[in-house]
Each structure stands twice: as C-alpha cells, then as structure tokens.
Amino acid sequence: MKSVREQVHALSFDVEEHFQVSAFWSDERRSSWESYESRVERNTDKILTLLSLHGIHATFFVLGWVALRHPNLVKAIVSQGHEIASHGFGHEMITSQQPEQFREDVRKSKEILEDISGTAIHGYRAPSFTITPQTRWALEVLVEEGFRYDSSIFPVQHDRYGMPGANPYCHRIETASGSLWEVPPSTLKMGPIRVPIAGGGYFRLYPYPVLRRMLSCAAADGHPLIMYFHPWEFDPDQPRMSGSMLSQFRHYLNLEKTEARLRQLISDFRFAAIREAVEAVEIMGNRAGRCLAMESSNG
Ligand SMILES: [Zn+2]
C-alpha cells in the first residue's frame, strides 16, 4: 500500500463570498448581497498564489453568482491548471428546494461556468453539503444534468446537513438515471461516531498536530483524503456578520491560522484536484477487479 505522502489526496475550495454562507443566511441578507463589499477575488488570489508556489492543482467549486460577477477569477483558476466545478448558483441549500428548482439552479450555474471557463463542468458540491436522506433525489438530477461526480454527502451528524451511516469513501453511487461518483469529505471513525476532519471550522478547531494524526489515520487504509476550504477562511479581517453564537464561533474561529495550516497540510500530504483523486481510485478499483478475476480464473 502507498504511504500517505505518495497517495494522491484531493484538495478543494468552495468559492463564495463571506456574506453568502448558510450560517448567516436570511432572506433579507440574500436580497441585499449586491450592497456588501466583495472580497472573494482577493481571497481566492491568495489561495492561487499559495498553490502555485507549491505546484499543486485543486478543485474550485464556484457559485454561478460569483462567476457572473468575477469572470476573470474563473479564467485565472482555469489558466493555472485547476479544475472548475459547480457550487450551485446562489448558495440556496437543497433542503429548501424542490427538485425542479434544484434542476434549474444546477443547470444555470453549469452553463455559466462552462461559458466562462471554456471547460466542461463534471463536479458538483451542494451549498452546506445539503444532500441528506431527505434530498437524495438530487443525485438523480445531477446525473441527468451531466455531472460525473458529487461531493455533497457528509457522513456525519450535524444540525444543517449530514447523512450519518453513508459510505464515507469515494465510491460509485447508483440512481434511477444512472450512476456517478460520490466523493464525501473526509471523516474519521472514533468509537461509535464519525468525526469530520475535512476542513471548515473543524480544520481550524483541532490543534494541527492532532489533526495531522487524524488525517494520517483516515488515509492509512488507502482511501484518498477529501479536504475543503473557502476563500473567506483566508481573510481574518472580513467584516463580522450578525448571527447565532454557534455560527459566529464556527465561522470566525482561528481564521488567522488557516493560511499557515494549509501550508503545513500541503507539505505533509500530496494533493491534486478531485478529478485526479477519482481517477486514481478508479484505476485502483479496476486493478483490484482484474486481480479478483485472475484469482477466480486461476482458482
Ligand atoms: Zn458554500
């Protein structure tokens, strides 16, 4: 088995503004997005510079809303060899949508991203990982709309999202309209529960040496790590939003440490875009399939 340093893990970023996050969502705030200061371009630039220094490619799940307002950002991401994928249009959680609204949302954002980037969009990540037991129908819509992989099922217990008990590893998932790859954010089984270790507030909460050990444990069985970040996590000076104490804690915790931690992470593990991590899993699966077939024909 490959060491965690040789293994290809997946690095991803959900490209959205600091005022668009679900934690601070309100219909009133949604209607005034245009009045907030845009910080997404300069924050994403910081990430692009860091990745370029380390020679790493990643997947950027971009909101259609952001792409329309910052087409040059999308072009810069693509021109530097990264993968563009969809984070939907306006960050509406799937749990608040009907199937036809969702179809319209993903179709519109896919068209916008394909037009601007000049590349085919194959990946999708739901705002706030909201493919849950109640919204599994979304997977079928994604297959019908031409997506090859989804990265929205978080196999944990959480107040806004999660599918406890779901397969925690990169795998093919069947729907009535065909199959696609499911690429769940990384978790670690600790006793009876799965602990999220993939990014976001969790990544900023644990001391880095502890997190590193957890990530090494999760990767030890040969499954790629699937990590996620947001451009606003690299912006400790962002204007503070009003919201619940829990949301404020999760959103603003240790923002000043994110950049240094990401540097450590990318020097400790080998990362690539999700499309490459999925390809590696597919090749491994095919090899294993061939070995099994040979064993059975020999035996
Ligand atoms: Zn998001």
Q: Within a domain: residue 50?
A: yes
Nearest partner of 22 among 247, 198, 203, judged by Cα: 247
CA of 282 to the centre of ligand 1 (A): 27
CA of 15 to the centre of ligand 1 (A): 7
Q: Within a domain: residue 273?
A: yes
Q: Can you tell me the distance from the alpha carbon of 280 to that of 284, in angstroms, rounded to the nearest whole number?
A: 6
Q: Within a domain: residue 2?
A: no
Q: Within a domain: residue 160?
A: yes
Task: Decide: residue 201, CB within 10 A, 0-12 exposed, 13-18 middle, 19+ buried.
Answer: middle
Q: Can you tell me the distance from the alpha carbon of 273 to that of 61, in angstroms, rounded to the nearest whole number?
A: 11
Q: In terms of residue numbers, what domain contains 158?
A: 9-298
Q: Within a domain: residue 1?
A: no
Indicate the length of the chain as a whole number.
Answer: 299
Instruction: Give the N- to C-terminal CA distance of the chain in Å, as an integer.
Output: 24
CA of 128 to the centre of ligand 1 (A): 5
Q: Within a domain: residue 155?
A: yes
CA of 54 to the centre of ligand 1 (A): 25
Q: Within a domain: residue 270?
A: yes
How many domains is the chain built from? 1
Going by C-beta distance under 8 Å and a sequence separation of 6 or more, which residues neighbour residue 77?
44, 48, 60, 62, 84, 117
What is the pLDDT, as a whole number, of residue 295? 55
CA of 81 to the centre of ligand 1 (A): 22
CA of 107 to the centre of ligand 1 (A): 17
What is the pLDDT, as a whole number, of residue 246? 86
Q: Can you tell me the distance from the alpha carbon of 21 to that of 5, in angstroms, rounded to the nearest whole number?
A: 33
Q: Which amino acid, one-letter code, is at 4?
A: V
CA of 84 to the centre of ligand 1 (A): 15
Count of Cβ atoms closer than 10 Å to residue 71 Cβ: 14
- Would you say 245 and 30 are in contact if contact means Cβ atoms under 8 Å apart? no
What is the pLDDT, as a whole number, of residue 233? 95
- Would you say 230 and 200 are in contact if contact means Cβ atoms under 8 Å apart? yes
CATH code of the domain covering residue 187: 3.20.20.370
- Would you say 185 and 10 are in contact if contact means Cβ atoms under 8 Å apart? no
CA of 176 to the centre of ligand 1 (A): 27
Task: Decide: residue 254, CB within 10 A, 0-12 exposed, 13-18 middle, 19+ buried.
Answer: middle
CA of 91 to the centre of ligand 1 (A): 6
What is the pLDDT, as a whole number, of residue 299? 46
Beta-sheet pairing, 193-196 with 187-190: antiparallel
* Ion ligand 1 residues within 5 Å by Cβ: 14, 16, 127
CA of 190 to the centre of ligand 1 (A): 27
Q: Which helix (H) or strand (E) covers residue 189, if one does?
A: strand 187-190
CA of 287 to the centre of ligand 1 (A): 35
CA of 129 to the centre of ligand 1 (A): 8
Structure tokens at 93: 């959680």
Beta-sheet pairing, 171-175 with 178-182: antiparallel
- What is the distance, to the nearest Å, from the Cα of residue 143 to the centroid of all Cα atoms in its chain? 18
CA of 146 to the centre of ligand 1 (A): 21
CA of 144 to the centre of ligand 1 (A): 23
Q: Within a domain: residue 59?
A: yes
- In tens digits, the chain (299 residues) has pLDDT values of 566 567 899 999 999 999 998 888 888 888 889 999 999 999 999 999 999 999 999 999 999 999 999 999 999 999 999 999 999 999 999 999 999 999 999 999 999 999 999 999 999 999 999 999 999 999 999 999 999 999 999 998 777 788 888 999 999 999 999 999 999 999 999 998 899 999 988 888 889 999 999 999 999 888 999 999 999 999 999 998 888 888 888 887 888 999 999 999 999 999 999 999 888 888 877 766 565 555 555 54
CA of 285 to the centre of ligand 1 (A): 31
CA of 4 to the centre of ligand 1 (A): 28
